[in-house]
């Protein structure tokens, strides 16, 4: 029963799933950074990506900037946005129940989705990367250059942030803040500054996510929907784990591609959109803290 064509088909679905999965992981990383440091669930992660893509597209199309300049400006803009947001909206909420921060991010998401088209216009724009459009053909595989770049950027940043949290003094301090704010404060750590840093880092990740996803899907308000994919990814991998974001991203990317390849022809399409959430619900039932998430340590 071994079918050569089927095997090639599966392999190409897998490859695609891995690349897309890494790109999901990049977005999920922004979410994880904020959760790790501040315990806040950022419901506006998708909107961050959308905003960054708008920055990038406007720089490229309206301002006519070279690609690398557009990337740098987007990065700078999103870092400023992260710091500003922490200062203006989130800092006044320090010490309040965490649910107020969550509500604030939900509100922020709605505001960004509403205001972005007003400021930037409603039409769909494109971000064109300075690379060949034609797919790279490698044996039986057709690989999109944009996806390859997206996955490459994702791997780079996932590795960089993993190093940051495990090895750098700042990264360790940030984990200390996440572990216990009051004690971190008593150890001489400026907790507010680390909160701001976490949001700025989410800005950096969103800037790159916005550029790669924007060039893949086009830039308009619908790009924010990418944020919804973050939830199955981080629920699977663990809200506070970078490795979890990678693994969760890969699983979701692969599952949705396989589902689309094999189930869509049977049921008539659409499985890609709900397969990740089925997986998420199962994950919540069997392992609510995720594959790599920290379990609450009971011992005192």
Partner 1 sequence: MLTINNIEVVYDGVILVLKGVSLEVRDGSITTLLGANGAGKTTTLKAISGVLRAERGEVTKGSIELDGKRIDRFAAYDIVSHGVVQVFEGRRVFVNLTVEENLVAGGHVVPNLPKVRAGIERVYSYFPRLKERRQQQAGYLSGGEQQMLAIGRALMSDPKLILLDEPSLGLAPMLVEEIFGIVRQFVTKEKLTVLLVEQNAAMALDLADHGYVMENGRIVLEGAAATLRENSDIKEFYLGLNEGGVRKSYRDSKRYRRRKRWLS
Q: Using the rule CB under 8 A, is 297 a contact of partner 1?
A: yes
CB 232 within 8 A of CB 277: yes
Interface size with partner 1, residues (CB under 8 A): 23
| Minimum distance from residue 12 beta carbon to partner 1 (Å) | 40
Comparing CB distances to partner 1, the nearer of 64 and 169 is 169
Q: Using the rule CB under 8 A, is 196 a contact of partner 1?
A: no
CB 226 within 8 A of CB 213: yes
CA distance 92 to 127: 36
Q: Using the rule CB under 8 A, is 272 a contact of partner 1?
A: no
Q: Of the candidates 139, 188, 266, 268, which one interacts with partner 1 according to CB under 8 A?
A: 188
Per-residue interface string for the shown chain with partner 1, residues 59-98, x marking contact by CB under 8 A: ------------------------------------x---
Comparing CB distances to partner 1, the nearer of 122 and 186 is 186
| Minimum distance from residue 200 beta carbon to partner 1 (Å) | 19
CB 224 within 8 A of CB 63: no
CA distance 8 to 175: 44
Stretch that binds partner 1, among 118-126, 188-196, 208-216, 251-259 (CB under 8 A): 188-196
Q: Using the rule CB under 8 A, is 119 a contact of partner 1?
A: no
Stretch that binds partner 1, among 10-18, 165-173, 216-224, 260-268 (CB under 8 A): 165-173
Q: Using the rule CB under 8 A, is 235 a contact of partner 1?
A: no
Comparing CB distances to partner 1, the nearer of 145 and 171 is 171
| Minimum distance from residue 233 beta carbon to partner 1 (Å) | 21
Q: Using the rule CB under 8 A, is 190 a contact of partner 1?
A: yes
Q: Using the rule CB under 8 A, is 291 a contact of partner 1?
A: no
Candidates 272, 287, 269, 277; CA nearest to 228 is: 277
CA distance 24 to 5: 28
Q: Of the candidates 99, 187, 278, 282, which one interacts with partner 1 according to CB under 8 A?
A: 187
Stretch that binds partner 1, among 37-45, 59-67, 99-107, 174-182 (CB under 8 A): 174-182
Stretch that binds partner 1, among 14-22, 114-122, 187-195, 206-214 (CB under 8 A): 187-195
Stretch that binds partner 1, among 125-133, 148-156, 166-174, 223-231 (CB under 8 A): 166-174
Instruction: Provide the binding-site residues for partner 1, judged by CB under 8 A.
Output: 95, 169, 172-173, 175-176, 178-190, 294, 297, 299-300
């Amino acid at each position: 029963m071994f079918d050569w064509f089927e095997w090639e088909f599966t392999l190409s679905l897998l490859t695609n799933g891995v690349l897309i999965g890494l790109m999901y992981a990049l977005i999920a990383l922004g979410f994880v950074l904020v959760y790790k440091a501040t315990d806040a669930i950022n419901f506006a992660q998708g909107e961050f990506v959308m905003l960054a893509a708008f920055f990038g597209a406007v720089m490229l199309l309206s301002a006519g900037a070279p690609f690398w300049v557009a990337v740098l400006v987007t990065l700078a803009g999103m870092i400023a946005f992260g710091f500003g947001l922490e200062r203006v909206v989130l800092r006044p909420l320090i010490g309040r129940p965490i649910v107020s921060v969550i509500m604030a991010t939900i509100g922020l998401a709605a505001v960004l989705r509403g205001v972005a088209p007003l400021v930037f216009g409603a039409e769909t724009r494109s971000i064109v990367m300075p690379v060949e459009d034609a797919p790279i053909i490698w044996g039986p595989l057709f690989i999109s250059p944009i996806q390859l770049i997206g996955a490459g950027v994702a791997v780079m940043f996932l590795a960089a942030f993993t190093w940051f949290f495990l090895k750098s003094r700042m990264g360790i301090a940030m984990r200390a803040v996440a572990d216990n704010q009051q004690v971190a404060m008593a150890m001489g750590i400026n907790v507010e500054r680390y909160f701001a840093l976490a949001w700025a880092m989410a800005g950096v990740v969103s800037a790159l996510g916005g550029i790669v996803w924007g060039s893949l899907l086009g830039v308009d308000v619908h790009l924010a929907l990418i944020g919804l994919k973050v939830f199955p990814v981080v629920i699977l991998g663990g809200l506070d784990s970078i490795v979890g974001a990678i693994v969760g991203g890969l699983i979701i990317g692969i599952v949705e591609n396989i589902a689309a390849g094999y189930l869509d022809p049977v049921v008539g399409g659409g499985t890609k959109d709900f397969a990740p959430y089925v997986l998420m619900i199962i994950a919540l039932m069997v392992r609510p803290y995720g594959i790599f998430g920290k379990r609450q340590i009971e011992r005192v």
